[in-house]
């Protein structure tokens, strides 16, 4: 009987701890306002991401094309600045210091992909440039990927893994005393240690949020968001029935383009006009 009471007391304690952690670790996603579970500090997550980013670069061939490399850095930094301006203007200034933006072009024409890790470390693969075609096309891609970082999608994914695999009291111990547990779950959430150039896909909810936020960021950076549908049409034709990694869990091209034209562009265009651009 005593053992039974002890068991249920431990279960209750774990539940109380889990509820407390969830209640204090929920934050709102910029732009959409959706409540997001983020159990790991942005600083800690950025530190783990930095380590993995270094490993990816060691295993990759960096582009020596100065013009393309400069374009990636230029577009990336313009969108990064726009994201920081947006965060500052909308009451999320505390997030800005967690980003140390870095934009790297990796020479790999077979990989049609780009990604941003928590903290702002970014990789673009040369394989996607044939689809971006222009600087504005690249802004569509980097706006989308920076949006994942600004929205804390990586933190949410790692947090869900922590809560599912460890749970309750064990989670509190892992976060405070067993950082290796968090590191392992970061690896599991991103997959960056398994195969260079492949990160595990975000959920479709995250992808739609990144589409919406990304258009605002590129528009605020002075890139015309009306170029986005044409880019997604080009991407939709890639590899026929087998989409590239960049489209792994994205909505279908028709759905995406419809959402962009009907829902997201009307919201993003005022930012483009406010950046000194016209119709």
**Residue 216 reports pLDDT greater than 80:** yes
pLDDT digits (tens, 9 = 90+) for 250-279: 667 788 899 999 999 999 999 999 877 654
Domain count, the chain: 1
Residue 242 covered by a domain: yes
Contact 125, 112 (CB under 8 A): yes
How far is Cα 221 from Cα 144, in angstroms, rounded to an integer? Answer: 13
61 located within any domain:
yes
229 belongs to a structural domain? yes
> Which member of 44, 84, 145, 156 is catalytic?
145
In a domain, 74, yes or no: yes
Residue 170 lies in a domain: no
Q: pLDDT-based confidence at 22, cuts 50/70/90?
A: very low
Model confidence pLDDT, tens digit, residues 108-146:
999 999 999 989 999 999 999 999 999 999 999 999 999
Say whether 145 is catalytic: yes
Q: What are phi and psi of 253, to 5 degrees?
A: -55, -40
Domain containing 66 equals 42-154+193-274
2 lies in a domain?
A: no
Q: Select from 71, 79, 30, 31 the least CA-distant residue to 222.
A: 79
Residue 98 lies in a domain: yes
pLDDT of residue 31: 83
Binned at pLDDT 50, 70 and 90, residue 12 comes out as very low
Environment class of 148 (CB within 10 Å of its CB; exposed 0-12, middle 13-18, buried 19+): buried
Residue 117 maps to a domain: yes
């Amino acid at each position: 009987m005593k053992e039974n009471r002890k068991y249920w007391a431990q279960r209750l304690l774990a539940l109380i701890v889990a509820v407390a952690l969830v209640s204090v670790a929920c934050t709102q996603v910029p732009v959409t306002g959706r409540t997001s579970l983020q159990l790991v500090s942005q600083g800690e997550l950025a530190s783990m991401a930095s380590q993995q980013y270094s490993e990816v670069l060691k295993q990759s061939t960096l582009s020596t094309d100065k013009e393309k490399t400069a374009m990636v850095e230029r577009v990336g930094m313009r969108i990064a600045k726009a994201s920081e301006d947006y965060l500052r203007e909308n009451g999320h200034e505390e997030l800005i210091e967690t980003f140390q933006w870095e934009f790297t072009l990796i020479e790999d024409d077979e990989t049609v992909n780009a990604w941003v890790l928590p903290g702002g470390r970014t990789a673009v693969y040369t394989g996607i440039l044939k689809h971006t075609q222009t600087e504005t096309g690249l802004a569509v891609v980097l706006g989308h990927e920076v949006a994942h970082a600004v929205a804390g999608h990586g933190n949410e994914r790692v947090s869900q893994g922590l809560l599912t695999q460890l749970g309750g009291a064990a989670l509190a111990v892992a976060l405070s005393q067993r950082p290796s547990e968090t590191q392992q779950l970061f690896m599991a959430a991103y997959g960056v240690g398994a195969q260079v150039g492949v990160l595990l896909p975000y959920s479709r909810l995250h992808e739609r949020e990144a589409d919406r936020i990304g258009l605002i960021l590129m528009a605020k950076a002075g890139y015309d968001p009306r170029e986005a549908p044409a880019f997604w049409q080009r991407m939709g034709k890639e590899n026929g029935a087998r989409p590239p990694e960049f489209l792994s869990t994205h909505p279908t091209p028709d759905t995406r383009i419809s959402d962009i034209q009907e829902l997201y562009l009307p919201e993003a265009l005022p930012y483009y006009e406010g950046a000194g651009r016209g119709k």
